[in-house]
Structure 1
Amino acid sequence: MLSYGRNLIHLTIVASSLVFSEPVRAGEIFTPDGVAIHGYDPVSYFTDGKPVRGSAAFTTIYKGATFRFVSRAHRDLFATDPEHYSPQYGGFCAYGTARGYKAITEPQAFSIVDGKLYLNYDDEVAKTWRSDRQAFIKRADENWDKVKTQAAP
């Protein structure tokens, strides 16, 4: 019986190591806390010119991620054109994507360029991003297909 118990423990450890040895892959959308862009309403960046926290009462699923909105009207607006309102690069840091890697973002570190929402790691990175954003956008666009398959930051 002691040998059986040891074998069972050994098998459990081996199975656990197999399960946890694979890197966790992030989806295409940055979903901290289980919701896209920290639960902020992506439409508010366009309508209010700033990030506004969404409500769990107004949600939709897009590309497998839950987005929250401040109102039914914002949710419905998003549903009419999610590609327009969704942050570029899935809400991962635009500067990081330009440099070839995924990075987390903060909701207040944003830019709207040519009608598209770009998020950055923090305000300092956003400053760097704004210094040459057209070049960074070009590089990020070129990198995104490769970057989006990387492990979560």
Structure 2
Amino acid sequence: MSLMKSAIAATLLSLAALSAPAMAADEYNTSSGLTAAGSPLGLHGVDPVAFVSLGNRIDGTAQYTAVHDGVAYYFASQEAMDAFTAHPDQYLPQNGGFCTFGVSVGKKFDGDPQFAAVVDGKLYLFLNEAIFREFQKDQSGTITKAEANWKKIRSTEATKL
């Protein structure tokens, strides 16, 4: 390989390392592919600030994108993006955005924003309507079990359906 090709290959490898997400594998539930920000999309593109602050599922837009821990989040407005940037922990979905009920039983399933709850100011997502209904039967017990299990399974591979 010529010296020029070696230099180009080294540069590309360096750039790839710089753009790699700052997260450990599978700690966040993200959509496949990358956003224009170069990171995978979290929360299926739904604005987490609107969810937590208003209790309303509002789709964000790529125009307002913030990246946290290697995951891109979309927002409906500059104000929402600024609020998230200032205090991301107030708005991030719990359990990395995976289904809270699944995490409570030691599994990592997709968390769908169509089936979500804000409990004590925290956002919890669920796989589907049936699982969400199960959560509603024992919210505090499910959340407590999920918190304990999340520490154990946080960096494990997501469950394949």
Aligned residues: 129
| Greater helix fraction, Structure 1 or Structure 2 | 1
Paired letter, 1:115: G
Distance apart, 1:111 and its partner CA: 0.6
With normalisation by structure 2, the TM-score equals 0.76
Offset at residue 47 of structure 1 (A): 3.2
Structure 1 equivalent of residue 52 of structure 2: 46
Gaps of 5+ in 2: 1-23, 33-39
RMSD: 1.3
Matches within 5 A, 1:95-114: 95-114=101-120
Cross-structure match for 1:30? 29
Q: Is the 8 A contact 2:105 2:146 kept in 1?
A: yes
Percent of aligned pairs with the same residue? 34
Counterpart position of 1:16: none
1:152 alignment partner, one of 144, 151, 158: 158
CA contact (8 A) 1:54 1:68 kept: yes
Unaligned stretches of 5+ residues in structure 1: 1-24
Contact 1:101/1:150 (<8 A) preserved? no
AA at the equivalent of 1:49: G
Runs of 4+ in 1 over 4 A off after TM superposition: none
Q: For 2:73, what is the secondary structure of its paired residue?
A: strand
Deviation, 1:122, is: 1.0
Counterpart residue type for residue 103 of structure 2: T
